[in-house]
A and B are shown apart, each in its own frame.
Chain A
Amino acid sequence: MRLRKGRSLVVGLVFALLAGCGVRAEPQATFRSVTSPAPARPDACWPLPVKFDFATRVRSDTFYETRSGGARRRILIDAFERNSDRISKLIHESMTGPGFPASAGVEALKAGSRVRYRIPDFGVAVIVVHPLVGAPRDFVVRSQVELNLPPSSFTTAQLQTCPTPDGYKAARKAGSA
């Protein structure tokens, strides 16, 4: 028994020495880092000349070629903690307040609404609000907003500091951006 105790003590001591004197291991937090969300975009990267009065997060940002050969930018954002009617209303107020008129009124869709706003020196911004069909009232995400914007939404200054929309480089190469 005494021998066993002594042996345990030696093993414990060896481990203590190894543990105390050893170099620290370097865990990489691999899973935590690959699942870290992209940092929120700075305000300077917001593509419209007005800010909306509700929390949003960009889901996707892409450049695409239109049928006429031009380029448009489509940004899909989550709108948080409000239903789609309220979101539509807040967007409308934000846009018409500074004097950007809705060119053809609010177009009701099967689910949601679409409005075209004419913005001087910018172009036409088409804003579509999609409700998340079936999402209960207490859901944090209840609607999504699609901003369909002219290439002018991406300024030279933004090019240097903001995330590049997917497909932008290809569009630029093709000369449409």
Chain B
Amino acid sequence: MIEWIRPFAGLVRRNPAFLIVVALHILLKILLGARMLDVPLSGDEFAYVDGAKALSNAVRDLISLSPFDGAEIRDNVVGNGWFMPGMSIVLTPLYLAVPEASTATMRLFVGVLTTGILVVVALVLHRTLGRGYALGILVFPGLVPMWILFSFTVWGDLVAGLLVVVLMVAVIGAGQRFVEGQTLRWRHGVGLGVLCSACLYVRSGMLPLILGMISLLGVAVLYFLRGPTRQAERVRSLAAVIVAAVTFASLLLPWSVIASMAYDRPVVTTTTLPLSLAITFGEEDRVCFGPCDGRNVWVGSLRYARGVSDTTGVNELVVQEQMSEYALTGVTPSHYASTVFGNLGRYLLEPASFEPRFRSPDAHSDAASVWIVESTQIAYMAALIFGTLTLVVVSTSRPKWQLISIGIKLSVAALLVQPFVHPAHGRYWPGFAPLLGIAAVYLAGLLSDRLRWPPSASELQRSDTSVSRTLTFAQVAIVAGLFLVLVALLVLSH
């Protein structure tokens, strides 16, 4: 235990600001946590809790050498095929120790765990990018009331958002090694693969980011370690990237196999995409080859697909694909673009829309609610402005800044994919909030670096201008890509 505390203790000794921010975070967590303890489970949380209970039973069976209850795993962990099992795995120890844990106990467990993860991520940032970034993430989102409320829930977005930071830092670190002519070792590859899997297991929407990061590393190896004199380094680093991809695939495989067996069709992560596209972009009255029954279109459409499957024997995933195709028939690019805009608005601009869900049953808005909503909106909007600026600012200075810029730009861009394929709302911003905190620190650092510490002559001599040019080009390419997407959406929506 002491070994775990030691790096943080050292950090605090050197930077008392950390202690203050962490203390503030914990204070807010206690105050807001009291509000969350009697908040009932909501939406997807039921699935994660059911999954955790079933997994805890599977561990019990494993330890007592009893046969697995396959049906229990299928019904609760795979369930509708909508959710990755990461958050259920995170909760499993709780239900292993306390099988009948109440919702309040579960929320307490998650609250403590997410604070632990936040602090560990801050430590990682301190070791890699510097203390400013560590402090930055502790402040934003660590002190934002709505984020703290979300940290008592089991939706995977918040944990995934923190893990993405670690993944991004690892990729930036790898890039730094390439720029300095060093190789990536196989253990780095294993670490990256594990990180990628962890991100994906808690949130399937991380797939574009993960694939992007692994591909980027492959390209970086081929580019930075090119030339006959660097063949050995190139091969070694490429092997490490392959190890990362293989580790990621191997860790994903058990889940894919279980989900595929449950559905008798190949399932890589989740089965959500066809219905998600139909519900988001299709005509509502065509999703179930007509209107779906019930108030909740997700439940209604799945019930319908399963009903058709039961009657005809056609695989329910096939039925879902056909429902999606039928609902999307006639969707025009203009309709698609307008819907994406609406989605983006809800994804990016409604950080406090879930506040009413985080009240006790029958509780009305009170002064605390107003404070939570307003302070969250102010802090979030400020961070969003920094994040947006970071997306468009191209750093031409030191490679380290440039690599961080690429890391932030790519991560944010990958997380912006969701509104293009899935309904979006105010639940998802904790998935990219830590990146906004990092973006703010990056931008402030970049400016102060420019203003106060222009690179010294020796530093300029050391820096490889071709590397810097390449990294500048990469940033410009990402900005141009984002700009093109935005222009295309604007043109199409009109």
Contact = CB atoms under 8 A, between A and B. Distances in A.
B308 A141 contact: yes
B59 interface: yes
Nearest to A15: B96
B299 A35 contact: yes
A172 B50 CA distance: 42
Interface in A34-75: 34-38, 40, 55-57, 59-60
B72 interface: yes
Contact of B310 (A15, A40, A56): A40
A44 to B, nearest CB: 17
A29 B79 contact: yes
A16 interface: yes
Contact of B289 (A28, A35, A40, A135): A135
A141 to B, nearest CB: 5
Contacts of A55: 311-312
Interface stretch (B239-247, B318-326, B431-439): B318-326
Nearest to B78: A32
Interface in B71-125: 72, 75-76, 79-80, 82, 93, 95-97, 99-100
Contact of B306 (A23, A25, A37, A141): A37
The residue in A35, A60, A144 that gathers the most chain B C-beta atoms within 10 A of its C-beta is A35
Contact of A27 (B64, B76, B310, B319): B76
Contacts of A32: 75-76, 79-80
A139 interface: yes
A35 B303 contact: yes
Given A30-B47, A32-B79, A141-B322, A23 B290 contact: no
Nearest to B322: A139
B226 interface: no
B51 A27 contact: yes
A37 B310 contact: yes
A140 interface: yes
Nearest to A16: B63
Contacts of A141: 289, 308, 322
Contacts of A34: 299
A19 B63 contact: yes
Contact of B96 (A22, A31, A56): A22
Given A29-B79, A34-B299, A134-B330, A24 B60 contact: yes
B76 to A, nearest CB: 4
A132 interface: yes
Contacts of A23: 99-100
Interface string B371-415: 000000000000000000000000000000000000000000000
A105 interface: no
Interface string A134-147: 11100111001000
A18 interface: yes
A36 B316 CA distance: 12
A59 B303 CA distance: 11
A140 B319 contact: yes
B460 interface: no
Contacts of B299: 34-35
Given A29-B79, A32-B80, A57 B307 contact: yes
B54 interface: yes
A20 B63 contact: yes
Interface in A70-84: 76, 78, 80-81
A170 B97 CA distance: 52
B465 interface: no
Contact of B50 (A27, A136, A139, A144): A27
A42 to B, nearest CB: 14
A24 B310 contact: no
Nearest to A22: B99
Nearest to B288: A59
B53 interface: yes
A31 B289 contact: no
Nearest to A24: B57
Contact of A78 (B289, B302, B310, B326): B289
A4 to B, nearest CB: 9
Contacts of A80: 308, 311-312
Contacts of A59: 288, 290, 293
Contacts of A24: 57, 60, 99
Contact of B46 (A31, A60, A139): A31
Interface string B22-55: 0000000000000000000000001101111110
Contacts of A20: 60, 63-64
Given A35-B303, A78-B308, A26 B53 contact: yes
A27 B53 contact: yes
Contacts of B76: 27-29, 32
A25 B289 contact: no
Contacts of A37: 303-304, 306-307, 310
B64 A31 contact: no
Contacts of A56: 311
A16 B65 CA distance: 12
6 contacts: A23-B99, A25-B52, A25-B57, A26-B99, A35-B299, A38-B303
Interface of B: 46-47, 49-54, 56-57, 59-60, 63-64, 72, 75-76, 79-80, 82, 93, 95-97, 99-100, 288-290, 293, 299, 302-304, 306-308, 310-312, 314, 318-319, 322, 325-326, 329-330
The 7 closest A-B CB pairs, nearest first, are A37-B307, A25-B53, A27-B53, A29-B75, A30-B46, A25-B99, A27-B50
Given A19-B59, A24-B99, A32-B76, 19 more contacts: A18-B96, A22-B96, A25-B57, A26-B53, A26-B100, A27-B50, A27-B53, A27-B72, A28-B46, A28-B50, A29-B75, A32-B79, A32-B80, A55-B312, A78-B308, A134-B329, A135-B326, A141-B308, A144-B290
